[in-house]
Structure 1
Amino acid sequence: MPSFAKSNLADSAEYKKILQITEQTIQQFIPDKRTAIFELKLLNGSSPHYQVNTTESAAAKQFSQLLVENHIPRTKIAINLLPDSSVEGKVTGIVNLSVANLRVEPSNQSELATQILLGTQVDLLQRKDGYYRVRTPEGYIAWVSESSITPKSATQLEAWQISSKVIVTADFGHAYTQPDEQSLRISDLVMGDILTMLDASNDFVHVSYPDGRIGYINSKLVLPFDKWLGTRRLTAENVIKTAETMMGLPYLWGGTSVKGVDCSGFTKTAFYMNGLVIPRDASQQVLAGQPIDILSGGTLDIKKAIQNLQPGDLLFFASGTDRPPTARVTHVALYLGNGEFIHAAGSVQINSLLPEASNYGALDTRTLIAARRYIGQDDSALQPLAEHPYYNTGKK
């Protein structure tokens, strides 16, 4: 904290006005702080000076205008539009770990926000204390260790985008220094990881990592990315089949891989492996797709739900029992049919909406407040992998 007293700052009419303008700008331009940034920082010094970090140019423009209208000296507040100069002109990076951890703040002790997989393209917004602030393909913004990311210039990114790639389709695997599984390992691999393919023999694929490491992967663990993508069919059967391969995985807050998943990371992975990029969190996922009527008088109607739901639909739950439909969504599950659903709760498991079922999910059923259908829906929040610019190979 600067040398001036915190109490003096709190009592400052100017400071209160700046906070008010900041909040006004956030309400107007930042509907979701997970996907857009507008933050006011107090800088060290002998008198109040501030910095605004934001991803939204329209918000920065409006904020500046409000400062003028409220007679606050513009010189007291530096506006830093992201991406900023700290990324040194390289505004794109590629993940180079099998699973990279994204955190709320640039610190290993900070809460895990989400994860991203090897070969995923991200926007680089800011660099600080050994971390990059990045934006993921679904728009989620968080901090990741520099060692997890390889920054790319525009030329390097184009070369990576048009290169031949493979995707890991097995749950787990490893890359080796030689085409021999007894040779030294380079890294572990998980389902969904993407690497550049250099060449292939009958038994091994010769691959390159985003950071230039070279290795060999058993060909049984991977498929050519373009071939794999061409076979994706977004059907309930396929999404459920992928989901069921994750049965028993441990729950991990922020997890989005077969190493561990949270509830929305589980549904995200099930759809991703079938060619659809969906929003990250349950409270974001409930805003996409087609609403399905499962309530009567604001509470769950089991008979109506069973009648209207289809396999592959998503079920959304609130925290606490008997919550209104307007309650904040905190959990999501994938509907299987016949009243059953699969979800990550402690571990990935199957429960039922039906009280007479042996696997009845009593607590979950009492907190079910919404359902959505993604399959067959045209929604800008649901992005086909084949059309997503972060996964587009650039090949025709």
Structure 2
Amino acid sequence: MPDSAEYHKIAHITEEIAKQYAPDKRTAIFELQRAADDPNRYQITTTIPRAWERFQQLLVDNHIADTKVTINLLPDTSVNGNASGIVNLSVANLRVAPRNQAELASQVLLGTPVDLLQKRDGYYRVRTPEGYIAWVSTSSITAKTQLDLRQWKVARKVIFIADYGHSYSAPDEQSLRVSDLVMGNILVEMGKSSGLIRVRYPDGRIAYVKSDLVSPFDEWLDTLNPIADNILDAAKTMMGVPYLWGGTSVKGVDCSGFTKTAYYMNGIIIPRDASQQVLAGQFVDILSADTLDTEKALRNLKPADLLFFASGDNRKPDARITHVALYLGDGEFIHSAGTVRINSMLSGAANYGDFQTRTLVAARRYIAQTDPALQPISQHQFYTLEKHHK
């Protein structure tokens, strides 16, 4: 029979360690499971070696034999030594658990490198460039050796800059389609043919893309200027895109997926969720006595600042963040709510309506801020060789 008292002790220690080393399960893992073959033995799965070291010390302090618990440090042996992968679908769905019915947590775009942490039941547990950890179908990812990944990093690539399009099996737009493509997809360039670009997918498929729908990736990075006008221009290209919980592409976006995409298309990787985004950037004062001060907000806010909301009226500024928008100026903001649309915080405006259902509790400025949570693609280790880092 399982020793329930011992289990509860171990579970309590696990909880304490997780609070200290992995407070956000979206970006760090410290999990306890019972061993499949022995109910009195346990396994810790974690991404944090130092958390395991502290856990072992607490076992000793609580007179629990450390042989009772083993560690599964991620990445584990299930990925067969391939600790990296590249997304090979236009948009791959990340889920909170390794099953098709699990909640959609986020999405990643074609050509995005990810860390492979674990493989189970036809899914990879992956870490995205912004550090988000979730499960994605193995059919959506091409596993890569370190040499493969290095070759991908140095290869000449193109990025899809149109909203939506397709690739073709021959240099002819009437030929069979290979896949759909969305804004932000990245492919290896193989040359030109009949006005189209020949490209290679991460899984080796060869296709052709209209040349005016893509830009050389390195040139695109070099010409990016993440100023307010450019970020808002990217945001406005998504006007009318439907809301999709977990969505981060022009096929459908949630509120934070929308802000993430607007900054990504200007070369900046930002945190995934609104509750993470509010922790980054520079504080912008918009409250007086814990309540929105519209005059102060209009005075202090700048275009492309992020606005953070709690659900319902009269919420405190420390309320749970449930929504995020991009400030346009003159009291207006653009956000994904039903669809991507523009609303106003000014009660006399015709597009004020949606503002009444939310409480604006915080604002942050990302432009020109030095913050480890705001990472230029051009300096990110997932996309570049280490010797090019700044």
Question: TM-score normalized by structure 2?
Answer: 0.97
Tell me: CA distance 1:361–1:377, structure 2 relative to 1, closer, same or farther (3 Å).
farther
Question: 2:138 maps to which residue?
Answer: 146
What secondary structure does 2:39 align onto? coil
Structure 2, unmatched stretches of 5+, are none
**1:48 CA displacement:** 2.0
Q: Is the 8 A contact 1:335 1:341 kept in 2?
A: yes
How much has 1:31 moved relative to structure 2? 2.4
Distance 1:30 1:395, change over 3 A: closer
2:187 to 187, 195, 198: 195
**1:206-355 map, 5 Å:** 206-355=198-347
**1:220 positional shift:** 1.1
Task: Name the % identity.
Answer: 64
- Structure 1 residue 364, shift from structure 2 partner: 5.1
Matched, 1:117 2:109: yes
Q: Where does 1:371-382 land on structure 2 (aligned, <5 Å)?
A: 371-382=363-374
Q: Contact 1:317 / 1:364 at 8 angstroms: preserved in 2? A: no
Q: Supply the distance in 2 between the matched residues of 1:362 and 1:103 (Cα, whole angstroms).
A: 29
* Distance across 1 between alignment mates of 2:110 and 2:354: 38
Return 5+ residue gaps in structure 1 as ranges.
none
For 2:277 and 2:299, locate their aligned partners in 1 and report how far apart those are by CA, in whole Å.
22
Note the C-alpha offset of 1:230: 0.9
Match of 2:65 in 1: 73
Residue deviations 1:150-193, cap 9 Å, x none?
01011111111110000000011111110001111111100000
Residues 309-357 of structure 1: CA distance to partner in whole angstroms, max 9, x if unpaired?
0111000001222110111111000000000000000000100000000
Distance 2:56 2:86 in 1: 34
Task: State the AA in 2 paired with 1:357.
Answer: A
Partner Cα separation in structure 1 for residue 386 and residue 65 of structure 2? 48
Report the alpha carbon displacement of residue 45 of structure 1 after superposing the two structures with TM. 3.6
Maintained 8 Å contact 1:163/1:393: no
Aligned-partner Cα distance in 2 for 1:91–1:120: 14
Supply the distance in 2 between the matched residues of 1:337 and 1:235 (Cα, whole angstroms).
14
Kept in 1: contact 2:150–2:385 (CA 8 A): no
Partners of 1:364 and 1:375 lie apart in 2 by 28
* Equivalent residue for 1:31, pick from 23, 35, 42: 23
Distance in 2 of aligned mates of 1:236 and 1:45 = 57
C-alpha distance in 2, partners of 1:108/1:385? Answer: 30
Q: Distance in 2 between matches of 1:191 and 1:230?
A: 18
Amino acid at match of 2:326: L
Q: Secondary structure at the match of 1:329?
A: coil
Instruction: Tell me how many residue pairs correspond in the alignment.
Output: 388
Q: Which whole-Å CA distance do the structure 1 matches of 2:118 and 2:38 have between them?
A: 26
Q: In the TM superposition, what is the alpha-carbon distance from 1:365 to its structure 2 partner?
A: 7.0
- Equivalent position amino acid for 2:19 in 1: Q
1:300–1:366 contact (8 Å) kept in structure 2: no
Cα deviation, residue 44, structure 1? 2.9
Determine the C-alpha separation between the residues in 2 that align with 1:365 and 1:394.
46
The 1-side partners of 2:225 and 2:339 are apart by: 27
2:158–2:216 CA contact under 8 A, matched in 1: yes
The one-letter amino acid paired with 2:106 is: T
| Inter-partner Cα distance in structure 1 for 2:195 and 2:79 | 40
Deviation >6 Å, runs of 4+: 393-396
State the distance in 2 between where 1:13 and 1:49 align: 13
